[in-house]
Amino acid sequence: MSVSPEELKTRIESAIPGTRAEVVGDGHHFEATVEGPAFAGLSRIAQHKLVYDVFGGELGERIHALSLKIRPTEAR
């Protein structure tokens, strides 16, 4: 059961307001670049957790691997 990069993109963008995501992947391993004001001022750990939390238990299972690049943008 593979997952589409578009699905990940849509879910990240709808779960974290103001966020834009670019996702590439082969159905199991994904790389996402995510930018938005939600990440501003957070530690790296907290930034990544924000995105991980969108997928919860699916990470490591249905979504085998999700590599993240986070770009905080100005709030407002």
Partner 1 sequence: MSDTPSNPMREAIQSAIAENHVILFMKGTPDAPACGFSARTVAVLQALEAPFAAVNVLGDPSIRQELSALSGWPTIPQLFVDGELVGGCDIVTEMYETGELQQLLGVAQNQANDAATPATPLTVAEPAPLSIDNLL
Contact between 71 and partner 1 (CB under 8 A)? no
Contact between 48 and partner 1 (CB under 8 A)? yes
Buried-exposed string 20-38: b where 16+ CB fall within 10 A, e elsewhere: ebebebeeeebebebbbeb
Judged by CB under 8 A, which of 2, 26, 27, 65 binds partner 1? 65
Contact between 27 and partner 1 (CB under 8 A)? no
Judged by CB under 8 A, which of 24, 26, 49, 75 binds partner 1? 49
Under DSSP, is residue 64 helix (H, G, I), strand (E, B) or coil? coil
Taking residue 14's Cβ as centre, other Cβ atoms within 10 Å add up to: 10
- The distance of Cα 59 from the centroid of its chain, to the nearest Å, equals 11
Judged by CB under 8 A, which of 60, 62, 71, 75 binds partner 1? 60
Binding site for partner 1 (CB under 8 A): 44-45, 48-49, 52, 56-57, 59-60, 65-69
